[in-house]
């Protein structure tokens, strides 16, 4: 039986580009040959599953992507789309019905599961059990990425989880016309979205990020990339445990250990 319930199928071409870029750089995928990656809850069309495959295939030879959806009509739609694509994609991408228990062809354990914009339509208390089911399906050393983004993917955040639970938290923002980094508050993963209140770490983080962004306003004429990088440096200097990643900061992206934002 598929665990979970069908929710709105909203999806869109290119909306998951930020998380896919991050995924493609994760050590777990580096040097692997033909790993299996699952796209859980792909939505009303297979678009973001095909994109996931295309992006990963540039770096990871033979990568295979299996889309899992709880709504059988969406599986049929994606399979029909797949039939119209070329043999290279047809050999590497597949779709099947299922829920958080994450069924795969031949019951193979996936190395990575991407579940984006799925848990946001569940209740917060349902999150740990859903995580557990997906984590229990991962191959040893595997990675679950679970998060949320805006309709066109300009605001995104996600949690990276290993077998023992959450490990990292990432915010990724389109910097053009960014007014305040706390825009991320609207697109936090379900485990954090109700925690953006005084006394919680994620609230402190978003306030500190806004404050750092404001204090770096003098850099605005040099462009938002330099300004965001400086804001991240400022956060780090203030004791936030950001790894030194200026290249990613300039893309509007920062990662922290989960312990820096974990609910109290």
Ligand X SMILES: C[S@@+](CC[C@H](N)C(=O)[O-])C[C@H]1O[C@@H](n2cnc3c(N)ncnc32)[C@H](O)[C@@H]1O
* Residue of the chain from 71, 210, 216, 253 that contacts ligand X (CB under 6 A): 71
* Dihedral in degrees, nearest 10, Cα atoms 191, 192, 195, 198: 150
| Residue 254 vs residues 173, 216, 231, 247, 250: alpha-carbon distances, Å | 9, 17, 11, 10, 9
* Residue of the chain from 43, 67, 224, 252 that contacts ligand X (CB under 6 A): 43
70 near ligand X, rule: CB under 6 A: yes
CB of 134 to ligand X, least distance (A): 9
68 near ligand X, rule: CB under 6 A: yes
Nearer to ligand X, 74 or 248 (CB): 74
The residue nearest ligand X at its CB is: 4
Residues in contact with ligand X, counted by CB under 6 A, come to a total of 25
Contact region with ligand X (CB under 6 A), list: 35-43, 81-89, 159-167, 249-257: 35-43
Token pair listed for 149: 């983004």
CB of 99 to ligand X, least distance (A): 4
| Residue 53 vs residues 17, 35, 168: alpha-carbon distances, Å | 12, 11, 23
What is the rounded CA–CA span in Å between residue 125 and residue 170? 22
The answer to whether the beta carbons of residues 78 and 69 sit under 8 Å apart is yes
42 near ligand X, rule: CB under 6 A: yes
14 near ligand X, rule: CB under 6 A: no
6 near ligand X, rule: CB under 6 A: yes
Token pair listed for 193: 């979205």
CB of 230 to ligand X, least distance (A): 31
8 near ligand X, rule: CB under 6 A: yes
Q: Which of 112, 127, 46, 44 is nearest to 85 (CA)?
A: 46
16 near ligand X, rule: CB under 6 A: yes
Give the list of residues 6+ apart from residue 109 with CB closer than 8 angstroms, or none.
36, 137, 138, 139, 142
Nearer to ligand X, 118 or 175 (CB): 118
Nearer to ligand X, 68 or 143 (CB): 68
* Residue of the chain from 18, 55, 64, 69 that contacts ligand X (CB under 6 A): 69
Contact region with ligand X (CB under 6 A), list: 116-124, 156-164, 176-184, 238-246: 116-124
What is the rounded CA–CA span in Å between residue 147 and residue 137? 18
201 near ligand X, rule: CB under 6 A: no
The answer to whether the beta carbons of residues 172 and 23 sit under 8 Å apart is no
Give the long-range contacts of residues 201-204, CB within 8 A, separation 24 or more. 201/260, 201/261, 201/262, 201/263, 201/264, 202/169, 202/261, 202/263
CB of 215 to ligand X, least distance (A): 34
The answer to whether the beta carbons of residues 70 and 4 sit under 8 Å apart is yes
| Residues of this chain that bind ligand X (CB under 6 A) | 3-4, 6-11, 15-16, 40-43, 48, 68-71, 74, 99-100, 116-118
């Amino acid at each position: 039986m598929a665990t979970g319930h069908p929710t709105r199928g909203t999806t869109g071409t290119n909306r998951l580009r930020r998380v896919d870029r991050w995924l493609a750089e994760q050590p777990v995928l580096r040097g692997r040959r033909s790993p299996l990656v699952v796209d859980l809850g792909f939505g009303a069309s297979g678009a973001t599953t095909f994109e996931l495959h295309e992006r990963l295939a540039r770096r990871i030879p033979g990568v295979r992507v299996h889309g899992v959806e709880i709504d059988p009509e969406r599986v049929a739609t994606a399979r029909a789309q797949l039939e119209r694509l070329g043999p290279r994609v047809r050999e590497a991408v597949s779709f099947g019905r299922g829920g958080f228990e994450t069924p795969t062809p031949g019951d193979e354990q996936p190395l990575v599961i991407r579940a984006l914009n799925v848990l946001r339509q569940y209740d917060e208390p349902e999150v740990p059990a859903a995580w557990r089911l997906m984590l229990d399906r991962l191959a040893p050393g595997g990675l679950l990425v679970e998060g949320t983004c805006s309709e066109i993917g300009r605001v995104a955040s996600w949690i990276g989880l290993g077998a023992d639970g959450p490990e990292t938290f990432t915010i990724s923002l389109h910097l053009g016309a960014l007014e305040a980094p706390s825009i991320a508050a609207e697109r936090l993963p379900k485990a954090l979205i109700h925690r953006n209140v005084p006394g919680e770490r994620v609230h402190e983080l978003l306030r500190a990020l806004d404050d750092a962004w404001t204090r770096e306003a003098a850099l605005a004429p040099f462009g938002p990339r330099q300004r965001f990088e400086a804001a991240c440096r400022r956060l780090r200097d203030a004791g936030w445990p950001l790894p030194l990643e200026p290249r990613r900061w300039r893309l509007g992206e920062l990662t922290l250990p989960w312990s820096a934002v974990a609910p109290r």
